Amino acid sequence: MTERTAHPPPEHSLPDGFLAVRAAEGDEDAFAVLVQRHGRPLLALARGMLGNPQDAEEAVQDAFVSAWRRLPEFRHTAEFRTWMYRITVNRCLAARRRRRPPSLPLDTAPEPAAGDVRSQPAPCAEQDAAVAALSRALDGLQTGQRLCWILREVQGLSYKEIAHMTRTSEQTVRGRLFRARRSLQEAMSPWR
Amino acid sequence: MALDDARARPATPARPPAGTPPFAGDEVLPCGRLLSRVWEQARDAAPAADPHTVSCPHCREAVEALATLDAATRALRAVDAAAHHALAGRVMNTVRTEVRLGRLLPVADPDQDLRMTERAAARVLRAAADAVPGARTASCRLAPEGADAGVRVTMTLAAAPDRPLPDRAGEVRRSVLHSAGQDLGLALTAIDITVVDLLTPDPPPHPGPASGAVR
């Protein structure tokens, strides 16, 4: 039975916890709202972790499908979002382990052209190149630093949430974040 | 998770004594502030929270050094809407091939020996409960009960606190009972309702996109 009821869908106003309960009981429409709500930040997370859009999309897709299958066992002790982040991060880490050695040696990375940045031809291409440089710099970070930086700067999570998610202390999170910022800032300095 | 360097260090005062940087690789700026703290403040605190960092050229320079990184970070954060849409479509295509049907329930028509899946029935009964203003369903489980094609419903919901809960629960019960009989042909033996959360009252009709009617 896949026909729709005549009632307007109330799912969009429901909190994640309610949607997760409904989805666990087989309500795909509830799950579709969760995918809609969390897909974009998870894609940004995976792109930061993996460096390229195709791998990121694959990791997030796998994570959502895995979440759908595991929802009946989800005990709601964590928020759905936190749970989903964990699944996605684990998918990304697995994808990185599979694709050793690193895809792009540092010395083949294009360098920014010398001179006044504002006089460069295409700002869009310039920005793409800067993002590519950032992705490479991220790729060179230790896993914990990369993850903390992405969760803070790309996802906007609090130190507390990051500590909880990565099972460490807030102080460790702040230390990793600092070292990540320092490395990334140095790597990006030729682009000023 | 393969996380590294888990050496926690003691909490950092805003201005620790020079020479004791709290993080490996930290740096004391000429003004005495730690680079790590200046960066954290630039991110986490309101711009005018600390008059020193606003006026200090060393702190300003340290914050400005992040500008290029910030620009690239903003671009990294911007996920293409089309990519997200396509991803959501692929996920839901897979999900819809893996339906969870739940239990098989007897329809109250003993001659025909009809059965209906719990998933299909729950969809209709959730909608019936949600049609009551100030009620939103979370769980809706159904199970056969008794010998005469009876079905017991167990629901959890959030209810707005603008009316006594028993009144609203009664209204939900009536709506569910009516729908079960009229729309599905199920003979309910009981409807157990647990209110697990409170809603703020429903917003006025035609609300904006951020019409979260919860908590």
How does pLDDT run across B164-189, given as a tens digit for each residue?
Answer: 999 999 999 999 999 999 999 999 99
Distance CA B160, CA A92 (A): 41
**Average confidence (pLDDT) over B17-24:** 61
Total-model pTM = 0.78
| Facing residue for A143 by CB, picked from B3, B126, B127 | B3
Question: Residue B180: which of B100, B102, B106 has the closest Cα?
Answer: B106
What SS3 state is found at B4? coil
Model confidence at A186, in pLDDT bands (50, 70, 90)? Answer: very high
Could you tell me which of A25, A145, A170, A67 has the C-alpha nearest to residue B122?
A25
**A174 contacts B23? CB cut-off 8 A:** yes
Residue-level pLDDT at A45: 92
Residue entry with tokens 């609203």: B168
From B197, which residue of chain A is nearest by alpha-carbon distance?
A18
Out of B1, B43, B65, closest to residue A167 by CB: B1
- Structural domains of chain A sorted by starting position, each given as residue range(s) with its CATH number in brackets: 11-100 (1.10.1740.10), 122-192 (1.10.10.10)
Higher pLDDT pick, B136 / A124: B136
* Cβ atoms within 10 Å of A78's Cβ, excluding its own: 14
> Does the distance separating the beta carbons of B84 and A43 come in below 8 Å?
yes
Would you state the pLDDT for residue B44?
82
A15 vs B66, B120, B214: nearest CB: B214
CB contact under 8 A, B66 and A185: yes
For residue range A81-126, what is the model confidence (pLDDT) as tens digits?
989 999 999 999 999 888 765 555 444 445 555 544 444 445 567 7
Report the candidate in B81, B69, B18 with the shortest Cα–Cα distance to residue B39: B69
| Cβ partners under 8 Å of residue B93, min gap 6 | none
Residue B204 has pLDDT above 80, yes or no: no
Compute the half-sphere exposure of residue B154: CA atoms within 13 Å on the CB side of its CA: 6
- Chain A nearest C-alpha distance from B139 (Å): 6
Q: How far is Cα A72 from Cα B117, in angstroms, rounded to an integer? A: 17
Residues of chain B with pLDDT > 70: what percent? 81
pLDDT at B209 over 60: no
Which residue spans of chain B are classified as CATH 3.30.70.1350?
Answer: 104-198
Question: From the CB of residue B82, how many other CB atoms can be counted at a distance below 10 Å?
Answer: 8
Does an H or E element contain B152, and which?
A: strand B150-159
- Give the confidence band of A65 by pLDDT, cuts at 50, 70, 90: very high
Q: How far apart are CA A7 and CA B133, in angstroms?
A: 13
Pick from A75, A7, A53, A36: nearest CA to B95: A36
Query: Once rounded to an integer, what is the mean pLDDT over residues B91-112?
Result: 87
Superfamily of domain B104-198: Cation efflux protein, cytoplasmic domain (3.30.70.1350)
Helix/strand/coil (H, E, C) string of chain A? CCCCCCCCCCHHHCCHHHHHHHHHCCCHHHHHHHHHHHHHHHHHHHHHHHCCHHHHHHHHHHHHHHHHHHHHHCCCCCCHHHHHHHHHHHHHHHHHHHCCCCCCCHHHCCCCCCCCHHHCCCHHHHHHHHHHHHHHHHHCCCHHHHHHHHHHHHCCCCHHHHHHHCCCCHHHHHHHHHHHHHHHHHHHHHHC
Q: Which residues contact A123 (CB under 8 A, 6 or more apart)?
A: none
Q: Identify all chain B residues contacting A86, using CB atoms and an 8 Å cutoff.
A: 1
Would you call B102 and A25 a contact, using CB atoms and an 8 Å cutoff?
yes
CA A184/CA B69 separation, integer angstroms: 7
